Structure 1
């Protein structure tokens, strides 16, 4: 009897170990797990909040524009400035979003300008480092109690629009893209730029960029690296833009599955308050559909 008991016990332990082993080696991947559990708080007034995002022992600075809300979590628009720009460039859109019940976040890329409020040097910046920055910002925002993780949108101007489109195509948690004069011409431009020697720089738009910038720009496949994004895309572009001709956005609309081009006949590459206001109206209307 004792031998039979131990034999049954051994069989049971083997079966249990088998189940444990199956569970261990067949766990869902980390990105498939609903790891974020939040308890959104009601807010009785609008708030502008400084937020720092950590990445590779450096800091990204940004400002969150959080509207008063009885329901807690809100749709979020993350806004990316252009080459040599600052988080302040797109604040008019962020403020109008806040006034209409949509949260927004404006930030400085690391090394995104000769001087800004984030860490990093411009000679170390590239489109790929800005992609890394935006990914870190999105992951941080997903943990903020005011953000509805099912309603995150990206926006960007010029190089920031290119970066937003590249990141949007890589992720499944972005619900829409709002691109202002996206610099889809950068990869083509840098095919013809001589690669700087190691430690040397290249003069671009009045400032110096490093070898990594040139290498990373050449690696981008426009429009192959962005067109897999299958949700709403609004592209705003000036008809008088000579820095990024509007034809690049017209071609992008053909490549995306659900894209629309809004052209401003007299606008150049930079948009004044009138155009930013119109963009904000169309962004808000799209998010609230």
Structure 2
């Protein structure tokens, strides 16, 4: 097992700060790194086990709190100021920071996004193809704009704040994705993509994962029987193993 270090850091951009945690193996050679993006009302802690697993095997990891992305976020912004596109900016800032770290192989940066973080990772990868070596998506919430457009087909009755799943969102969250078609903004990413999705997911239907796998030029999907929006311990371990294998095969 390789020794590794864990460090808290803050990344400044656009007048705000992102709280992040790095998990870096103590090895002489430069190493690949995986940037983990959490889902709606999640946090950097959601990928603690994933990150430690990779660090023990010689692959770096970074997880972070989206600004305004959770009631427990250690990053800046209120939840009412968060949108898909502020999160896009946050992940982009983390990529920019990681690229400059001395011990990181800047040619081997991977994105791993869960749920809403999967949507963000997919959007960012499509715009930064040359910088991202591979993309991993865990039940990616590509349905978010569709879901909100169904709730508010027009904006005339959209309130200033919306309480949704324990988080108070601002009007801008819905306004910014009104009429937004996700599949028009992903699919240019032509490097390898691996999607993990449960066949019993009631939050993000499997159809979205299947459609994404068909939409990318080089994508595979691992369907987990009986799993919903969140996996069992044994299948989470399988995700760890497959993530490591994916990074090694593509580095």
TM range (shorter): over 0.9
Relative contact order, higher structure (CA 8 A, sep 6+): 2
What SS is found at the alignment partner of 2:137? strand
Structure-to-structure mapping, 1:79-118, within 5 angstroms: 79-118=36-75
After superposing the two structures, state which structure 1 stretch, 157-166 or 90-99, moved more.
90-99
Which residue in the other structure is 2:116 paired with?
159
Per-residue CA deviation, residues 11-57 of structure 1 (Å, 9 max, x unaligned), is xxxxxxxxxxxxxxxxxxxxxxxxxxxxxxxxx94111111100222
Q: In the comparison of the two structures, how many residue pairs are matched?
A: 245
Which residue in the other structure is 1:60 paired with?
18
Which residue in the other structure is 1:170 paired with?
127
Structure-to-structure mapping, 1:248-259, within 5 angstroms: 248-259=208-219
After superposing the two structures, state which structure 1 stretch, 214-223 or 166-175, moved more.
214-223
Choose which of 216, 237, 246 in structure 1 pairs with 2:176: 216
Aligned-residue offset at 1:119: 1.1
CA RMSD of aligned residues (A): 1.6
Aligned-residue offset at 1:196: 7.1
Choose which of 126, 129, 132 in structure 1 pairs with 2:86: 129
Structure-to-structure mapping, 1:258-269, within 5 angstroms: 258-269=218-229
Per-residue CA deviation, residues 187-235 of structure 1 (Å, 9 max, x unaligned), is 1112123337787112322322111110222253221201100011100
Runs of 4+ in structure 1 over 4 Å off: 196-199
Structure-to-structure mapping, 1:129-148, within 5 angstroms: 129-148=86-105
Alignment partners' CA distance in 1, 2:126 and 2:180:
13
Alignment partners' CA distance in 2, 1:221 and 1:174:
23
What SS is found at the alignment partner of 1:162? helix
Choose which of 122, 137, 140 in structure 2 pairs with 1:182: 140
Alignment partners' CA distance in 1, 2:22 and 2:53:
13
Alignment partners' CA distance in 1, 2:120 and 2:38:
10
8 Å CA contact retained: 1:197, 1:211:
no
Alignment partners' CA distance in 1, 2:80 and 2:233:
31
Cα 1:120–1:196 shift into 2, 3 Å: farther
8 Å CA contact retained: 1:92, 1:276:
no
Which residue in the other structure is 1:204 paired with?
164
Unaligned runs of 5+ in 2: none
Alignment partners' CA distance in 1, 2:150 and 2:162:
12
Per-residue CA deviation, residues 149-208 of structure 1 (Å, 9 max, x unaligned), is 100000011000000000000002001111000001111112123337787112322322
Choose which of 224, 248, 251 in structure 2 pairs with 1:288: 248
8 Å CA contact retained: 2:3, 2:56:
no
Alignment partners' CA distance in 2, 1:137 and 1:220:
25
Aligned-residue offset at 1:77: 0.2
Alignment partners' CA distance in 2, 1:196 and 1:118:
32
After superposing the two structures, state which structure 1 stretch, 116-125 or 210-219, moved more.
210-219
Cα 1:174–1:146 shift into 2, 3 Å: same
